[in-house]
Amino acid sequence: MDLIPKPDQVVSAASNVAHKLLYGGLADLRPMPRTLIDEGTLREVYHYRPAAKVKETGDPVLLVTPLAAPASCFDLRRGCSLVEHFVTGGRPTYLVEYGQVSFRDRNLGMEHWVDEVVPTAIREVSKHAGDRPVHVVGWGWRPVTRVYRALGGAPRPLVRWAFQLSSFQKLVTKPIAIAKNLDNTEFLAQIEAVDKFTEGMIAYPGRTFGQLYHRFVRGNGFKTGSLAFGDRTIELASIQVPVLIFAGANDGIAPVASVQALASLLPNAEEVRFEVVPGGHLGMLTGRAARRTTWVTMDEWVAQWSTPEKRTEPARKADGPTRPARNQIGSNPQRRYGSKSSRGLAT
């Protein structure tokens, strides 16, 4: 809004204020409808229902919720929702999240998610989508404190505070920004949606929180490209599938240089693509500019590395919990394996 507001700006500002007072907000925070198809210990796998008059086609996308953050990072608000974008585009879309973490989960470590949660979710999504390969989309952020030692974990208020502190400058200047943009409905709606997302932060299990802090923050475990979990070591160099990496131009949690370094740790991937997109840590994923940048690149990448469509596609299984799968992750016995990474899935 101009220093001396124009008449139309005054009208828009008054309308926005009135709407917020009468209806509680400007953002459309309705979540995209979904159905539970699988569940287990701190594991809930959902299928987002296809949009009306839109046929689902292509390989499915699985959105992996980051620890301690709500799944709304992928479904922030209507118009700024990656889920909505995929669903309305006809892409079979799935999500794995973890429910509420309590004190009794304090002994769970990263192994639970690495060995059980994510692999099981991939298998169930592949099976539900007709045994098709699965595109996995992840987003996350790192903890910044060691209070977990005394508390048995990172409680919700602490997690929320850490996220807000990562954008301290924006937090301080937020009232001024709102005052300057009272006539900008999109800006105000985005602020509301981000506030709602921050309120939804959940707790970390104590052991997981400790592993993340010591290995990723303090120990910079990714620097060498290998991470030890229990009696085994995970090598990033063993990844052979194509990898797309995004960095937010204004990301204070994961700076561009630190994200770009990941590309050099994936020498055997079929292809590695690194993209810098507008926004901070959350904005790069579901900011107002993401629909013209991040999402467009995702669409291109998924289309490039998807299985060619067949004339007759296997019938989709009905929504609902399914039994544990016994086939390989993301494998399709009818697929022609033409690339190095694809052949690896079949073995």
Over range 18-28, report the average pLDDT.
71
Contacts of 101 (CB under 8 A, 6+ apart): 42, 153, 202, 203, 204, 205
153: left (phi over 0), alpha (psi -120 to 50) or beta: left
Q: Which run of H or of E encompasses 205? A: strand 204-205
Mean pLDDT of all residues in 321-345: 38
The per-residue pLDDT for 214 is: 62
Helices (H), the chain: 7-23, 82-88, 110-111, 118-128, 148-151, 156-165, 168-180, 185-199, 206-212, 256-260, 283-286, 294-304, 340-345
Query: What is 19-325's CATH number?
Result: 3.40.50.1820
Give residue 103's Cα distance to chain centre.
25
- Write out pLDDT tens, residues 172-205: 455 666 667 776 777 787 888 888 877 776 665 6
pLDDT at position 278, please?
Answer: 95
> Is the model's pLDDT at 323 over the cut of 60?
no
Across the chain, which distance is largest between two alpha carbons, in Å?
A: 68
Confidence band for 32, pLDDT divided at 50, 70 and 90: very high
Mean of pLDDT values over 309-314: 56
pLDDT digits (tens, 9 = 90+) for 102-153: 667 666 777 888 889 999 999 999 999 999 999 999 997 544 443 333 333 4
What is the pTM for the complete model shown?
0.74
Q: Among the listed ranges 17-21, 49-53, 189-193, 289-293, which one has the minimum average pLDDT value?
A: 17-21
pLDDT at 263 over 80: yes
Two structure tokens written together for 296: 């467009």
Strand bridging mode 226-229 / 43-48: unpaired
Asked whether the predicted pLDDT for residue 91 surpasses 90, the reply is yes
Q: Which pLDDT band holds residue 268 (cuts at 50, 70, 90)?
A: very high
pLDDT class for 7, splitting at 50, 70, 90?
low
**Segment of 7-16, 93-102, 183-192 carrying the highest mean pLDDT:** 93-102
Check pLDDT > 70 for residue 328.
no
